[in-house]
Amino acid sequence: MTPAEIALVLESSGNAFAGLLRSIPRDVASWRPAEGEWCVNECVGHIIEAEERGFAGRIRIILGADEPNLQGWDSAVVARSRNDCERPPNDLLAVFEQMRRDSLELVLSIGPEHLERGGIHP
């Protein structure tokens, strides 16, 4: 896939995801299906972290260094520290939408000279 094709997928999936989030009432977004399971808000927080640290974050790291060592993260620890279950869903939605716009801009800035770059995943 080309960066432009990837951007189209990111845009359409982001719009679908945001539309779904807008339809979920706050009490549903913070409901946990069982002890120790994530609520919708925590799932959204995980997607935000994955986009920031994983997708766009790693693209930025790879573009900025030759074959960098990429870092992982403990998603459960990060989820607990974010405390997303208590946050208003619209706040998370705003963060997601801005982050997705930034990711689209980043992907569209990738030129042919960048496509051979890589990193070392743990």
Q: What token pair was written down for 93?
A: 């939605």
Q: What pLDDT shows up at residue 17?
A: 94
Helices 3-22, 89-108: crossing angle, 10 deg rounding = 170
Q: What pLDDT shows up at residue 49?
A: 95
**Under CATH, what is the fold of the domain 3-111?**
Four Helix Bundle (Hemerythrin (Met), subunit A) (1.20.120)
DSSP state of 68: P
Residue 31 to residue 42: CA distance in whole angstroms: 10
Q: What pLDDT shows up at residue 55?
A: 93
Domain ranges of the chain: 3-111
* pLDDT (tens digit per residue) in 39-69: 999 999 999 999 999 999 999 999 999 999 9
List, for the chain, all residue ranges whose pLDDT scores fall below the cut of 50. none
Cβ-contact 15, 63 below 8 angstroms: no
pTM over 0.75: yes
How many Cβ atoms from other residues are within 10 Å of residue 47's Cβ? 19
